[in-house]
Amino acid sequence: MSASSAGVLEVPCERFELPGGLILLVSPRPGAPITAARLHLRGGSSVDPAGQEGRAFLAGRLADQGTATSTEADLSARLEPCGGSLTGDQSGLSGSVAGPHWKVMLETLFEVARGAAFPEAEVEVQRRRMLARMAVEEENPRSQASLRFKRLVYGRHWLGRPAHGTVSSVASLTPEDLRAHHAAHWGPDRAVLGICGDLDPQAVRRLVARLTKGWSPVGPIERKRATLPSPGVRLDAFSRSRDQVHVYLGHLGVRRADPDWPTLVVMDHVLGSGPGFTARITKRLRDELGLAYSVHADIHGSAGRLPGTFRAYIGTSPEHLGTAIQGFLEEMHRIRDARVTRKELSLARDYLVGSFPLGFERAARRAGYLITAELHGYAPDHLQTLPQRYASVTAAEVQAAAQRHLHPDSCCVAAAGPVTKAALKRALEG
């Protein structure tokens, strides 16, 4: 399928820079039944102090527990009759509402963004619930394998820490800590608001300008020079008596701005993230060898402003550990050593071009894209040129990108379940 035959995807956007520094991105969509908004606050988990990991996440998640003028029940009573909702995380707030009530959603969103109070009783209830869930996660093999893999790849960098923190770090956080985070990091000069729905951009601009009037800037983020571990083989194991062993294998990946990124998306669909039975790793380890139902590998999905990871995952029986690890490594070598077939390339390109518009049907997806495009500096025609780039990728480009970005001889491996580091070392050595 050619990019032109798939139709042209458009997400129109009007951009405004408001007093105080807030960037407003409005995408009008006439007739849309839902209006969705995302308020992104730069910094997120990167500004968590040592020992207080999860502070940004908890501040975002509990921001809706009450403000200076409204309780959590008041906020809910305002949104629910409009079919609205508001949630938060380490990067800010997200909301949606039935289209005609978008003013109610924005009024509520900015009341929370500016005036979150983090009341003692409500914060304590929610924090205890989080701690109970996290205690369960600390014994969950797949979660622990994933966390250990990130630590092996990123070391002490904040990307190697869980965004939601640990049981010990969250247990130490107080409402005052959350108020301090909010005061220091939630300001208009760090904010980007993306909103999509049946909207008049100028009406949205006027309302947001009124709602943010007097909101004080908090200043630029203090960035420290990031150091990441050198490439190399590193192993970790979380030993528990279970039926399955969960394995993550890979290494440091790429930034989203890397010129090879579109080619790597195509490579991933041939290698380990394609749909159905088309991906090599899925076909070999799941369908031919029957090692697992769930198996996956990709490098493009985690790419951001900082490098993501190449990460392959499988959950399998302990006796198949060596076969699974060697299967990952052999397929990484194979896509580096020889060009993908014409059929594989055609299937991957056709799927990517054909499915591309489907990801933008929901208003929330469009609002999120507006922010992503702003943060990464995408060109205005990005949504038109990206499918064209997928459609033009060649087998030679896939091989060259694989040779540049896949490193089977310098992989980190983390596993959890009935496994030890010694067993991982033997499996990796074949």
Three-class SS state of 156? coil
Three-class SS state of 296? strand
The residue among 211, 246, 274 that closes a domain is 211
Is 167 a domain residue? yes
- Looking at the fold, whether 369 and 319 belong to one and the same domain comes out as yes
- Looking at the fold, whether 279 and 174 belong to one and the same domain comes out as no
Instruction: Give the strand order in the sheet containing 295-298.
Output: 234-239, 412-417, 245-252, 309-316, 295-298
- Looking at the fold, whether 198 and 253 belong to one and the same domain comes out as no
pLDDT, tens only, 69-115: 999 999 999 999 999 999 999 999 999 999 899 999 999 999 999 99
Q: CB–CB of 402/215 below 8 Å?
A: no
Domain containing residue 400: CATH number: 3.30.830.10
Among 299, 47, 248, 29, residue whose Cα is nearest residue 163: 47
- Looking at the fold, whether 402 and 263 belong to one and the same domain comes out as yes
- Looking at the fold, whether 69 and 194 belong to one and the same domain comes out as yes
Q: Distance between CA atoms of 363 and 98, rounded to whole angstroms? A: 11
Using CA atoms, how far residue 213 sits from 91, 135, 430, in Å, is: 22, 42, 63
Is 229 a domain residue? no
- Looking at the fold, whether 123 and 188 belong to one and the same domain comes out as yes
At residue 282, the pLDDT reads 92
Tell me the average pLDDT of the chain: 95
Among 341, 321, 354, residue whose Cα is nearest residue 280: 341
Is 345 a domain residue? yes
Three-class SS state of 387? helix
pLDDT, tens only, 216-248: 999 999 877 778 999 999 999 999 999 999 999
* Residues of the chain above pLDDT 90, percent: 93
Q: If pLDDT is split at 50, 70 and 90, which confidence band does 277 have?
A: low
Is 278 a domain residue? yes
Q: Distance between CA atoms of 247 and 227, rounded to whole angstroms? A: 26
The residue among 151, 179, 211 that closes a domain is 211
- Looking at the fold, whether 264 and 394 belong to one and the same domain comes out as yes
- Looking at the fold, whether 277 and 423 belong to one and the same domain comes out as yes
- Looking at the fold, whether 387 and 269 belong to one and the same domain comes out as yes
Q: Which residue has the tokens 């490579």?
A: 267
Mean per-residue pLDDT, 33-41 = 97
Q: Which residue range is the domain that position 65 belongs to?
A: 4-211
Is 271 a domain residue? yes
Q: How many CB atoms lie within 10 A of CB 15?
A: 12
pLDDT, tens only, 250-273: 999 999 999 999 999 999 999 999
Q: Distance between CA atoms of 56 and 53, rounded to whole angstroms? A: 8
- Looking at the fold, whether 125 and 196 belong to one and the same domain comes out as yes
State the total domains in the chain: 2
- Looking at the fold, whether 57 and 129 belong to one and the same domain comes out as yes
At residue 169, the pLDDT reads 95
- Looking at the fold, whether 311 and 205 belong to one and the same domain comes out as no
At residue 359, the pLDDT reads 85
Three-class SS state of 194? strand
Q: If pLDDT is split at 50, 70 and 90, which confidence band does 276 have?
A: low
Is 174 a domain residue? yes
